[in-house]
């Protein structure tokens, strides 16, 4: 399992392409942030702008959107491996999970900092992974909220073998704390992509937790 997954959040298709070019051959998994300007106050590039990215990466698509079910066909079209939607964005997670099952995605639900992990208790058997947000979603370079880490052991108690990720605010200062709390993987946006050498920054974070 890859432990640090680089995250790209941009509304600029050119920047998206450039970032992917930099990461080619240096990461198996790639986390792509998709936003609709409604669930979060920010927007992103469209899924189709990922083009042939799935030939080079295992794509994990983080849908920070209302009505995530409407995006699943496009996720399938671009060859996504894992799709993440927010517990806060839907009334019936089961319906979305069932559709995801039909497309054959790995199924993951994200929880925002104020959302208790126990909100997911009744769906956890259907999930491959769970994403604990370390910041309120929508933007990179925000400060990590350490209180969210108590959710990791709560989730682990609910399901021993579920993959637990953390997303938002992960950098040199916070990465050890997150893995110390028991996450399996961490997404890192600005700590990788907003540096002069993203590949070296990614390797450095990986080394810090090895």
Residues with catalytic roles: 33, 167
Which run of H or E residues covers position 5?
strand 4-8
Per CB under 6 A, contacts with ligand DX5 among 21-40 are 31, 33
Point out the residue whose Cβ comes nearest to Zn ion.
62
| Residue 13 vs 98, nearer CB to ligand DX5 | 13
Which run of H or E residues covers position 100?
helix 93-103
Q: Which stretch binds ligand DX5 (CB under 6 A): 16-24, 44-52, 91-99, 161-169?
A: 161-169
Nearest to 163 by CA among 134, 186, 192: 186
169 interacts with, out of Zn ion, ligand DX5, none, CB within 5 to 8 A per kind:
ligand DX5
For ligand DX5, the binding residue among 43, 46, 142, 177 (CB under 6 A) is: 142
Q: Which stretch binds ligand DX5 (CB under 6 A): 49-57, 75-83, 112-120, 132-140?
A: 132-140
**How many angstroms separate the CA atoms of 96 and 35, rounded?**
17
**How many angstroms separate the CA atoms of 70 and 72, rounded?**
6
Per CB under 6 A, contacts with ligand DX5 among 48-107 are 62
Site string for Zn ion, 168-197 (x = CB under 5 A): ------------------------------
Neighbour-count burial for 84-106, b at 16+ CB within 10 Å, e otherwise: bbbbbbbeebeebbebbeeeebb
190 interacts with, out of ligand DX5, Zn ion, none, CB within 5 to 8 A per kind:
ligand DX5
Site string for Zn ion, 92-111 (x = CB under 5 A): --------------------
**Residue 172: CB partners within 8 Å, gap ≥ 6?**
191, 204, 205, 208
Nearest to 183 by CA among 156, 204, 207, 164: 164
- Angle at which helix 198-208 crosses helix 13-23, to 10 degrees, equals 60
Q: Which residues bind ligand DX5 (CB under 6 A)?
A: 7, 9, 31, 33, 62, 135, 137-142, 167-170, 187-191
Q: Which residues bind Zn ion (CB under 5 A)?
A: 33, 62, 167
């Amino acid at each position: 399992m890859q432990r640090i997954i680089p995250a790209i959040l941009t509304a600029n298709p050119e920047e998206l392409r450039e970032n992917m070019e930099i990461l080619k051959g240096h990461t198996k998994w790639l986390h792509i942030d998709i936003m609709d300007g409604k669930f979060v106050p920010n927007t992103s590039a469209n899924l189709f702008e990922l083009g042939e990215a799935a030939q080079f990466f295992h794509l994990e698509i983080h849908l920070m959107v209302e009505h995530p079910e409407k995006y699943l066909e496009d996720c399938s079209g671009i060859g996504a491996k894992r799709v993440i939607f927010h517990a806060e964005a839907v009334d019936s997670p089961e319906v979305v999970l069932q559709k995801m099952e039909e497309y054959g995605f790995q199924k993951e639900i994200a929880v925002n900092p104020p959302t208790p992990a126990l909100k997911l208790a009744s769906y956890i058997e259907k999930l491959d992974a769970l994403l604990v947000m370390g910041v309120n979603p929508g933007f990179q370079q925000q400060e990590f909220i350490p209180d969210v880490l108590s959710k990791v052991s709560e989730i682990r108690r609910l399901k021993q073998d579920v993959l637990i990720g953390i997303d938002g605010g992960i950098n040199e200062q916070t990465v050890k704390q997150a893995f110390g709390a028991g996450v399996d993987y961490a997404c890192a946006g600005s700590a990788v992509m907003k540096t002069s050498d993203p590949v070296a920054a990614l390797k450095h974070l990986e080394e810090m937790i090895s």
